[in-house]
Structure 1
Amino acid sequence: MHVGVIPDITLFIQLAIFLVFMFIMKKIYFDPYLQAMDEREETVKKLLKEAEENHKKTEEILKKVDEIIAKTRAETQKIMEQYHHETNEMVSSILKKAQNEAEEMIEDAKKEVERVVEIEKKTMDKIIEKLALEIVNKILPKEKAA
């Protein structure tokens, strides 16, 4: 018989204090931390998607540049054949003049293609630099806060 034994309720009090402590920690620390992590993950996913889209755009631009180069080569080849045919019918002095004109056109076409490629590269470098700065600016402030 357990007459006169008082039940020990300290275990229940400690359990209640622990549960209150866990609830407060969840509201103050865990929920904001998890929310910040989710936001960071979404931001990174968004930036990666944007970077992938920009990469695809870059690939498309490079493909167009390659097409322009191929078209320019085909056009210059056609022009050279035309000049060659015409020069066969003319005297040697006119032949030399026509060849010089064809070479100038090829050089101009190459310079134009190089100029277009350089402009596109600079544009892509600026876009990539801007995206990198945005990623760094979005990631670094969150690391300081955490």
Structure 2
Amino acid sequence: MDLITPEFGLVFWTLIMFMILLFILRKFAWKPILGAVSEREEGIKKALTAADEARREMENLQADNERILNEARAERESMLKDARDMKAKMIADAKEEAQVQANKMIEQAQAAIESEKKAAMTELKNHVAGLSMEIAEKIVGAELSTDKKQLELVDEMLKETTLN
């Protein structure tokens, strides 16, 4: 028997066995195999669809995050601007209040100076009046018969008098 050239009987029985095997596979195994392949295909399609939805949802979330971040930045800028404006207003108010207080103090000082000046002038007038009275009393009390005596008396009075 030669293995390289098969006989007709061997080929016939091999062909019959192959047909029986094909029939059995078709009857019992083909549908479950196709069903498993179909289920697997459906599972892959569902997974791809879910991945697509997840990708779209991630894009939406990223867009929402970007929008929220931009809103937060804008709000922060607004708050910083308000704080700067408030600071500037507080500084301006403080400067204005300080200027008002300084002007008030200057006015009070000027009023005090004017009051002291008037008091000094009054005291000076009273002192001059007192001196004039003393001089007049001494002049009236002394003999004023000659011009020479009058001049001597005035010189003597001026020497005695000291101004404060």
TM-score range for the pair, normalised by the shorter chain length: 0.5 to 0.7
Listed one character per residue, the Cα deviations across residues 4-52 of structure 1 (whole Å, up to 9, x for unaligned) are: xxxxxxxx9888865553332111x111111111111111111111100
Residues 22 and 31 (structure 1), Cα distance of their counterparts in 2 relative to 1, 3 Å cut: same
> Residues 1-146 of structure 1 correspond to what in structure 2 (within 5 A)?
20-27=76-83, 29-88=84-143, 98-106=153-161, 108-109=162-163, 112=164
How much does 1:56 deviate? 0.3
Listed one character per residue, the Cα deviations across residues 36-90 of structure 1 (whole Å, up to 9, x for unaligned) are: 1111111111111110000000001110111012101211110111110121279
Q: RMSD value over aligned CA atoms?
A: 3.0
> Could you say which structure has the larger radius of gyration?
2
Match in the other structure for 1:135:
none
Supply the distance in 1 between the matched residues of 2:99 and 2:152 (Cα, whole angstroms).
60
Contact 1:79 1:102 in 2 (8 A): no
TM-score with structure 1 setting the length: 0.54
Aligned residues: 98
Q: Which runs of 5+ in 1 are unaligned?
A: 1-11, 113-146
Supply the distance in 2 between the matched residues of 1:94 and 1:17 (Cα, whole angstroms).
102
Identity of aligned residues (%): 11
